[in-house]
């Protein structure tokens, strides 16, 4: 059992969100769906929680009501090994109403913030050569979706 599980609060979209996320990530599944009973506080039969895994990491989605909304104060970061992986997750998470932001950030159609980041970005930005790292940072700050080729060009400028 995973000790710490991310809990995502939805109004009534918990099951739809879990199905959406598990359709995007490999090695993912919905493990359990519970429903409100007669005791409430919401209508009997409405999905209460959905326990699901994304690539082996556990999450719970709850239909807690309209009181709380997601914002950028928390996001889920996806470490990508290639530009094609960045492109895949970027496009999949933006599908059906997501919104691009900047520097690899986006919001999906449910309003949850994600960072779609190539692992190469961290490698380039942590280079001991401050001039190289700064050029990479400057290039990244101009991006919406992260482009590894542009980062590499900035890194290798003379």
Q: 92-101: per-residue pLDDT in tens?
A: 999 999 999 9
What is the rounded average pLDDT of the residues 112-128? Answer: 97
pLDDT of residue 94: 98
153 with 80, same domain: the answer is yes
40 with 91, same domain: the answer is no
What is the rounded average pLDDT of the residues 83-92? Answer: 98
Quick check: 1 pLDDT over 90? no
pLDDT of residue 40: 87
Cβ proximity of 79 and 10 under 8 Å? no
pLDDT of residue 130: 96
Of 66, 88, 117, the residue at which a domain comes to its end is: 66
79 with 147, same domain: the answer is yes
Express each pLDDT in 5-59 by its tens digit: 999 999 999 999 999 999 999 999 999 999 999 998 999 999 999 999 999 999 9
The confidence band for 153, taking pLDDT boundaries of 50, 70 and 90, is: very high
**Which residues have CB under 8 Å from 32's CB, separation 6+?**
49, 50, 51
CA distance 19 to 42: 22
Place of tokens 């104060």: 73
pLDDT of residue 115: 98
92 with 157, same domain: the answer is yes
Of 17, 51, 66, the residue at which a domain comes to its end is: 66
- Domain that includes residue 138, residue range: 70-158
Q: How many domains does the chain have?
A: 2
109 with 46, same domain: the answer is no
82 with 62, same domain: the answer is no
């Amino acid at each position: 059992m995973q000790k710490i599980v991310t809990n995502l609060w939805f109004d009534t979209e918990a099951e739809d969100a879990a199905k959406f996320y598990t359709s995007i990530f490999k090695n993912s599944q919905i493990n359990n769906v519970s429903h409100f009973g007669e005791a409430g506080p919401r209508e009997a039969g409405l999905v209460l929680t959905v326990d699901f895994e994304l690539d082996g990491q556990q999450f719970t989605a709850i239909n807690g009501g309209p009181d709380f909304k997601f914002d950028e104060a928390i996001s889920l970061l996806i470490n990508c090994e290639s530009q094609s992986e960045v492109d895949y997750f970027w496009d999949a998470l933006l599908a059906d109403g997501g919104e691009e932001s900047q520097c690899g950030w986006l919001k999906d159609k449910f309003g949850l913030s994600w960072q779609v980041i190539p692992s190469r970005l961290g490698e380039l930005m942590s280079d001991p050569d401050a001039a190289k790292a700064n050029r990479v940072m400057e290039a990244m700050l101009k991006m919406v979706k992260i482009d590894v080729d542009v980062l590499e060009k900035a890194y290798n400028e003379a």
